[in-house]
Amino acid sequence: MSATTTPVAVPGPPRPQEPRIRGPLHRLVRPGAAALSGAALFLSFPPRPLWWLALPAFALLGWTLRGRRPRAGFGLGLLAGLGFLLPLLVWTGEEVGAVPWLALAAVESLFVAATCLGVAAVSRLPAWPLFAAAVWVLGEALRARVPFGGFPWGKIAFGQADGVFLPLAAVGGTPVLGFAVVLCGFGLYEAGRLLLDRRATGGLPRGPLAAAALSVLAPVTGAAAALPLVSTEAEDGTATVAAIQGNVPRLGLDFNAQRRAVLDNHVRRTEQLAADVAAGREPKPDFVLWPENSSDLDPYRNPDARDAIDRAVRAIGVPTVVGAVLSPETGPLRNTLLQWEPERGPVATYDKRHVQPFGEYIPMRSVVRVFNKDVDRVSRDFGPGDEVGVFDLAGTRVGLVTCFEAAFDWAARDTVTHGARLISVPSNNATFGRSEMTYQQLAMDRVRAVEHSRTVVVPVTSGVSAIILPDGRIVRRSGQFTPDALVAQVPLRSSLTPATRMGVLPETLLAAVALGGLGGAAALGVRARRTGPRKP
């Protein structure tokens, strides 16, 4: 008999162990990535021309949120929101201290957190970048409306004034522009994830990869296709416009402590422009635009202020828009723009429709006073107007959007649908010193120019004043805290872009897509809980 032998397995070389990250460090990776994505979003905003950073920011955010539970998505989103909004809004504490800045950034970050909760929820759906980008637009829409009328500062579209996606503003306004950027960022992450999975598994799911590639290519292709909507053609002739920047006597909250000095600065710079016109050094403007708060003395109640304004307007000899604070004997103050004619004085008014909470009026004053005594600097609240502002200045219909209103989609759109051929955004940024606020607001104005295909003129008390063509290019600009007069011949246009015609429809449709995705994600979660985990 022959003995049988049992083969003995010879152990091979030990398999290399994958490096393991210690638990505490591993748990910090996603929170750190969330905060980093927010910081990258901040860096994509003006004055830095780094608009493209929004794409890797959303790709990183997509990696952070995909497959997370909604509760984790909320926490990660809060970190992303703080990383984004804390540095973006630091100017709000320029003169009043850190408490208002931190409170505002925290409240706005809660909206981002809720949005990221929604992104995490829809991230398990097929073609999830589409739904996630729509959820982001829905979150921005809510943030632009509540509380106290909303605070749209930091909409993704406002960081794209120098970007390749800008023509999409003419297609569907800031919602479509922002949607395209977010979709492209999430799509980049998803395409990269699928390609890396192929290396690990050897398979390549064609359908999901095609959807991811479409998420990247569709926004870029759409922006290229929208280029014909961006034009500087003078459809209704041209106008020569002048924007006056008189400067202020000091920075900060006390800039208007010498209210007569602010007015005199604007009078003096207008009279200097009149002298330059008479000497042939500057062309004569068809009309002149002064900034918001260029006269904090009510010319109806202060004869000396009225005489000073009248003298300047007579010197230049053309209609002039003057920003004034009107103080009736009873009722709230009014942040008003006056149409001042050389021979007739003030003939029309526009009262700012969206007055700024905690700046022009104080909600819950007794509560807010506990945290910051500076609320009492606003001793008398401003009240809002209720009529669209369009002045006929020497035959040119000029739409009026006062400062903070430029952040709201409806404000500029209303003036164009009421016949404006040119938009003016008179502003006063002196309260915020030399911070980035003025550059962030200027970027909004550039987006509005493309969105509605209108020249936008931005006269500011202390800078940066600018004249922006309908394609978003700045042709004249001032420095900060220096007197100046910007004069340029600009095109007048009357055609309406799809964005202007459709109004809130694109935002509504994207919100419907978001809600549909959230509903689908909820149904998917319910089904998973009912069936339980599958048996092997």
Which stretches of 345-463 are DSSP H helices? 365-371, 409-417, 437-452
| Strand-by-strand arrangement of the 455-458 sheet | 390-393, 396-400, 422-424, 455-458, 466-468, 474-477
Of the residues 403, 436, 451, 507, only one is catalytic, namely 403
Q: What are phi and psi of 13, to 5 degrees?
A: -65, 145
Structure tokens, 484: 């100046």
Q: At what angle do helices 70-88 and 29-43 cross, to 10 degrees?
A: 40
| Nearest CA among 466, 469, 407, 424 for reference residue 245 | 466
- Residue written as token pair 């759109």: 413
- Is position 292 annotated as part of the catalytic site? yes
Phi, psi of 16 (to 5 degrees): -65, 135
Find the helix packing angle between 128-143 and 169-201, rounded to 10°: 140
How far apart are alpha carbons 206 and 330 in whole angstroms? Answer: 69
Structure tokens at 58: 């959303």
Q: Does residue 184 have an active-site annotation?
A: no
Does 403 qualify as catalytic in the annotation? yes
Q: Which residues pair with 490 in a beta bridge?
A: 239
Q: What is the spatial distance between Cα 59 and Cα 190, in angstroms, rounded to a whole number? A: 8
Give the DSSP letter string of 428-446. Answer: --GGGTTSTHHHHHHHHHH
Strands 466-468 and 455-458: antiparallel
What span, in angstroms and rounded, lies between the C-alpha atoms of 93 and 102? 8
Q: Which of 140, 190, 292, 405 is catalytic?
A: 292
Pair of tokens at residue 343: 């021979």
Q: Are strands 320-326 and 390-393 parallel, antiparallel or unpaired?
A: unpaired
Catalytic residue (one of 116, 155, 190, 352): 352
Residue 235, token pair as written in the block: 């459809």
Alpha carbon 22 to chain centroid distance? 41
- The token pair that represents 60 in the structure block: 């990183």
Return the ∠ at Cα 324 (arms to 322 and 326), rounded to 5°: 140
Length of the chain: 536
Closest CA to 138 of 452, 514, 397, 465: 514
Instruction: Yes or no: say if 309 and 346 are a contact pair by the CB < 8 Å rule.
Output: no
Question: SS3 for 393?
Answer: strand
Active site residues: 292, 352, 403
